[in-house]
């Protein structure tokens, strides 16, 4: 049985499963529908490069940049391209703690072939670097740290604890040695109580539906939770009427303390996170975290980062994007007020990705081809080229055009994505393959899907697409092999009805 006692969110089973899910590397972004386009897009890269340029102008020396939790490496690619076009002299280290993601960085030429760029396996909780660095980039990484979910109510702190157990009627199905296996509560309990084998990672996408999750609050003490006294110092400044929900993690302080020992005398950390800028922003414990599939993200209280910086004689500058769940924070040893003013001015814009997202929504909702094309025209007139290169924007246009049967145009738009994101654009590969099949280029579809599988050999939907392609080519041995691999790797929404077809082959 899994331990279903009430625990802090970051010590709970939900956090463990979320972290485990990242071991699947690139496919995790697609299987769990984790948004990555705005955080890896040209618009954010442009903003970061402008901030690095300001910082470098103050330092007047070559800048060592380290990006932590670089994910698919696409942000690094764009940031390096833009830095190359700037006057900043730099060295860039691209890092991740998932070995398969670090190996994938090699397929991005600007990372693998530039003298001033390297990649490395780095765990943000245990950073050991050969050189001190000046700029650290942490995009949607702080919000993966294990947290305690707290509530401030009438001057008193409460912790919301979570109990996780397997539902009585839970069922989990998967293929093992060619047979469909059905697990009930007792089997799932045994499975989850033991270390999870790599070959069982695909089923994680379906585990969340099997869980019963119950929350309860308990009074707690700021000084017990945070021995540094930072949380308590912040608490003492709150009035009796201040209330709301927020997270706390001592791992933030440990990481920041540890990074400072490895940073150069002058440094800047850039954090882009799911975050809150005041305690009243989250009205419910459920607002203090977000979930994509099995991956949890915890809101970062920027007001506590401010408290840490005050205590450590650091400057903290934050965006104030209105009505946004995301903010950008800058932590720096630079005390210059000019630097603060210039960075604040850069952050005083709309959130990166927001304008293009508005058009993306309109295009997704367009109910006729004419309307879709009109929105695309409008978007092209009002968005910058950086904004127009956004993955989800281009993918939404391509998907809509597929719905309306404009397959040549689907190929045109997915080619933009493929040019930019290459083998990492797994759903663009699928969509282009479908359009190629519709236009009769079946063998091209096969080569494209095989290229995708070289990057992501555990992405179930590529095998499914390959089975459809092989069926059109009448290569039934390939259909059989592809369906077998599909069922071995299937994550979300398994197409069990295809088992009959597989058995008949
Ligand atoms: C939400 S994704 C963000 C990826 C990328 N920065 C972006 O914005 O697209 C979080 C990333 O953090 C990585 N990660 C999780 N725990 C980590 C750790 N302890 N050290 C370094 N990276 C970690 C995951 O592998 C994942 O790629």
Token output for 347: 């952050």
Using alpha carbons only, what angle is made at residue 284 by residues 282 and 285, rounded to the nearest 5 degrees? 95
Does one domain contain both 304 and 376? no
Burial (CB count <10 Å: 0-12, 13-18, 19+), residue 52: buried
CA 154 – ligand 1 centroid, Å: 36
Does one domain contain both 305 and 373? no
CA 97 – ligand 1 centroid, Å: 8
Strands 179-183 and 117-121: unpaired
Residue 151 lies in a domain: no
Does one domain contain both 361 and 496? yes
Question: 426: Cβ below 6 Å to ligand 1?
Answer: no
pLDDT of residue 323: 82
Closest-CA residue to 483 (of 182, 454, 469): 469
Residue 30 lies in a domain: no
Question: 423: Cβ below 6 Å to ligand 1?
Answer: no
Dihedral of CA atoms 273, 279, 284, 285 in degrees, nearest 10, equals 60
Question: 288: Cβ below 6 Å to ligand 1?
Answer: no
Question: 306: Cβ below 6 Å to ligand 1?
Answer: no
CA 19 – ligand 1 centroid, Å: 10
Q: What's the longest Cα–Cα distance across the chain?
A: 73
Q: Name the DSSP class of 353.
A: T
Domains: count for the chain: 2
Question: 97: Cβ below 6 Å to ligand 1?
Answer: yes
Residue 471 lies in a domain: yes
Pick the residue whose CA is nearest to atom 14 on ligand 1: 69
Task: Show the low-confidence residues of the chain (pLDDT under 70).
Answer: none
Residue 218 lies in a domain: no
Question: 38: Cβ below 6 Å to ligand 1?
Answer: no
Closest-CA residue to 27 (of 398, 297, 429): 429
CA 28 – ligand 1 centroid, Å: 11
Does one domain contain both 390 and 424? yes
Residue 192 lies in a domain: no
Does one domain contain both 291 and 364? no
CA 73 – ligand 1 centroid, Å: 10
Question: 146: Cβ below 6 Å to ligand 1?
Answer: no
Pick the residue whose CA is nearest to atom 10 on ligand 1: 141
Question: 26: Cβ below 6 Å to ligand 1?
Answer: no
pLDDT of residue 413: 98
Residue 1 lies in a domain: no
Question: 21: Cβ below 6 Å to ligand 1?
Answer: no
292/5 Cα distance (integer angstroms): 24
The domain in which residue 238 lies consists of: 41-145+226-347
Does one domain contain both 371 and 289? no
Q: Residue with structure tokens 């400057």?
A: 315
Note the pLDDT tens digit of each residue in 356-403: 999 999 999 999 999 999 999 999 999 999 999 999 999 999 999 999
Domain boundary residue, one of 313, 347, 381: 347
Cα dist from 80 to 48, 136, 391, 497, whole Å: 11, 14, 18, 46
Closest-CA residue to 304 (of 372, 371, 234): 234
150, β-bridge pairs: 159, 246
Does one domain contain both 303 and 369? no
Does one domain contain both 371 and 282? no
CATH of the domain at 242: 3.40.50.150
Residue 216 lies in a domain: no
Question: 36: Cβ below 6 Å to ligand 1?
Answer: yes
Closest-CA residue to 153 (of 278, 283, 242): 242
Does one domain contain both 374 and 449? yes
Question: 125: Cβ below 6 Å to ligand 1?
Answer: yes
pLDDT of residue 226: 97
CA 456 – ligand 1 centroid, Å: 18
Question: 284: Cβ below 6 Å to ligand 1?
Answer: no
Does one domain contain both 340 and 486? no
CA 375 – ligand 1 centroid, Å: 34
pTM recorded for the entire structure: 0.95
Domain boundary residue, one of 302, 324, 347: 347
pLDDT of residue 60: 84
Domain boundary residue, one of 317, 347, 377: 347
pLDDT of residue 198: 93
Residue 319 lies in a domain: yes
CATH of the domain at 472: 1.25.40.10
Does one domain contain both 484 and 438? yes
Q: Are 432 and 416 in contact (CB under 8 A)?
A: no
Render 37-59 in DSSP notation, one character per residue. Answer: TTTSSHHHHHHHHHHHHHHHHHH
Question: 139: Cβ below 6 Å to ligand 1?
Answer: yes
CA 33 – ligand 1 centroid, Å: 15
CB neighbours of 412 closer than 8 A, spacing ≥ 6? none
φ, ψ (nearest 5 deg) of residue 27? -65, -25
Does one domain contain both 305 and 412? no
> Mind spelling out the 3-state secondary structure of 404-460?
CCCHHHHHHHHHHHHHHHHHHCHHHHHHHHHHHHHCCCHHHHHHHHHHHHHHCCCCH
CA 212 – ligand 1 centroid, Å: 27
pLDDT of residue 1: 82
């Amino acid at each position: 049985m899994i331990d279903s006692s009430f625990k802090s969110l970051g010590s709970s089973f939900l956090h463990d499963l979320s972290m485990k899910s990242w071991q699947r590397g690139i496919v995790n972004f697609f299987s769990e529908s984790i948004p990555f386009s705005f955080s890896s897009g040209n618009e954010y890269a442009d903003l970061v490069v402008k901030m690095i340029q300001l910082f470098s102008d103050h330092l007047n020396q070559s800048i060592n940049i380290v990006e932590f939790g670089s994910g698919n490496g696409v942000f690094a690619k764009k940031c390096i391209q833009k830095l190359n076009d700037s006057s900043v002299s730099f060295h860039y280290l691209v890092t991740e703690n998932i070995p398969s993601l670090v190996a994938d960085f090699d397929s991005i030429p600007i990372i693998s072939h530039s003298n001033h760029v390297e990649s490395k396996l780095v765990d943000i909780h245990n950073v050991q670097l050969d050189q001190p660095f000046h700029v650290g980039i942490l995009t949607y990484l702080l919000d993966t740290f294990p947290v305690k979910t707290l509530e401030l109510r009438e001057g008193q702190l409460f912790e919301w604890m979570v109990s996780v157990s397997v539902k009585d009627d839970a069922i989990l199905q998967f293929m093992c040695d060619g047979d469909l296996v059905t697990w009930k509560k007792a089997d799932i309990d045994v499975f989850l109580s033991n270390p999870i084998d790599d070959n069982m990672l695909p089923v994680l996408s379906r585990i969340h539906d099997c869980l019963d999750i119950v929350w309860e609050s308990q009074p707690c003490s700021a000084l017990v939770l945070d021995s540094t006294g930072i949380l308590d110092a912040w608490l003492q400044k709150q009035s009796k009427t201040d209330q709301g929900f927020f997270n706390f993690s001592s791992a933030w302080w440990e990481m920041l303390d540890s990074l400072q020992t490895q940073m150069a005398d002058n440094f800047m950390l850039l954090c882009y996170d799911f975050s809150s800028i005041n305690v009243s922003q989250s009205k419910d414990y459920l607002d203090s975290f977000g979930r994509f599939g099995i991956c949890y993200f915890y809101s970062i209280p920027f007001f506590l980062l401010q408290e840490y910086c005050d205590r450590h004689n650091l400057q903290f500058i934050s965006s104030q994007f209105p009505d946004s769940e995301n903010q950008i924070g800058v932590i720096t040893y630079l005390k210059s007020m000019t630097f603060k003013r210039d960075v604040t001015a850069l952050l005083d814009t709309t959130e990166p990705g927001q304008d293009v997202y508005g058009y993306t929504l309109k295009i997704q909702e367009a109910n006729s081809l004419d309307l879709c094309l009109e929105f695309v025209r409008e978007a092209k007139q009002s968005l910058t080229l950086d904004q127009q290169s956004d993955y989800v924007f281009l993918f939404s246009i391509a998907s809509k055009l597929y719905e309306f049967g404009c397959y040549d145009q689907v190929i045109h738009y997915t080619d933009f994505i493929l040019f930019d994101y290459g083998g990492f654009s797994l759903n663009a590969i699928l969509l282009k393959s479908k359009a190629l099949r519709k236009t009769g280029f079946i063998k091209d579809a096969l080569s494209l899907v095989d290229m995708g599988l070289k990057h992501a050999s555990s992405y179930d939907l590529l095998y499914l697409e390959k089975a459809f392609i092989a069926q059109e080519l009448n290569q039934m041995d390939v259909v059989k092999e592809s369906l077998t691999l599909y069922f071995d790797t299937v994550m979300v929404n398994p197409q069990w009805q295809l088992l009959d077809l597989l058995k008949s082959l």
